[in-house]
Amino acid sequence: MSAPQHFVFMLVENFTHIAFSCAIEPLRIANLVSGNELYRWSLLSSNGTSATCSNGIVTLVDGSFDADMPSDRLFVLTGINVAEHATPKLCKTMKRAASRTRALGALCSGAWVLAKAGLLDGQKAAIHWDFHDAFMEQFPEVNLVRSVFEAEQTVTTASGGTATADLMLHLIEREHGAELAIAVADQMVYNVVREGGAEQKVSMQSRMENRNAHVMSAIGLMTESLDEPLSMTEIADQLKISKRQLERLFGRYLNCSPKKYYMDLRLQRAQKLLIQTEASVTDVAVACGFETLTHFSRMYKAAFGISPSHQSSKIS
């Protein structure tokens, strides 16, 4: 029998615990079900002693990020404050670590660290949906995908949460066959294993229990044009309905006007950019389709109770 594959997980402070559990447990269960040590794993942290996840649980580790620990697969795992933790020092560390592994990967928001280190240029990559807007603004050279994981590139990425389990089951199937992957999923009581191309979020139709084609199409047009907003007339024209009908449909299904819904989408994107990136308030305003800072500031404060400049300084 061949030697077990060695997975190394670099746990950045405030890493997401659900993604960590979904990464380790399929490997452990694969060993249990198969009756063989197919996988072994090691954990690293910045201080070489422990790492604290986002829910406060402290995990003991096997060494520091600088440890000379060759691996078959190395994953960096981060959490909600990834931009804060993606320091030049960590990026430099990731570049060194990449040379010690046969396969590099990132879980949850970890793709942010690899992108900042220049390790994802020209590749497809997955990251948790909450970071999509900021990631696209910050790293235009990376081909961001909205799927749960991407395993066909040089660097493997998963969007976090249970998507990490999907990725691990995918790797188990690829390396040891579908029968073992199914047995592991059964032990996890995990009966809806997703392929890499599956969407991360529940569809808009399911989330709103709404199947009106015109409303769904209008929301799609709005989402795709947040930086250069369309007028309600332009949206209605593309849907081949009247502006009045568009307004009636939004009132019926969403209990608001299409104009307000559109503005909320733009402001939500602005909030994410202010929180997750170092972009200036002016740049955020432009990225979200506001022609003047005065209009942007007024609308932002009305929505969130704080000015965009204070939001930005509060985060930094």
Domain spans of the chain, in order of start: 5-187, 204-315
Non-local (6+) Cβ contacts of 251 within 8 A are: 257
- For the stretch 33-80, pLDDT in tens is 999 999 999 999 999 999 999 999 999 999 999 988 889 999 999 998
Question: What pLDDT score does 315 carry?
Answer: 45
Q: Who wins on pLDDT, 228 or 195?
A: 228
Please name which of 75, 77, 116 lies closest in space to residue 98, comparing C-alpha atoms: 75
pTM higher than the cut 0.75: yes
pLDDT over threshold 60, residue 288? yes
- Angle between the 17-34 and 163-176 helix axes, to the nearest 10 degrees? 30
Within 10 A of 60 (CB to CB), how many other CB atoms are there? 9
pLDDT over threshold 70, residue 28? yes
Query: CATH for 204-315?
Result: 1.10.10.60
Averaged pLDDT, 210-235: 90
pLDDT over threshold 60, residue 313? no
- For the stretch 161-220, pLDDT in tens is 899 999 999 999 999 999 999 999 999 988 777 776 766 665 555 555 556 889 999 999
Please name which of 157, 174, 55 lies closest in space to residue 115, comparing C-alpha atoms: 157
Within 10 A of 267 (CB to CB), how many other CB atoms are there? 20
Q: With cut-offs at 50, 70 and 90, classify the pLDDT of residue 316.
A: very low
Query: Which CATH number is correct for 5-187, 3.20.20.70, 3.40.50.880, 2.40.50.100, 3.90.120.10?
Result: 3.40.50.880
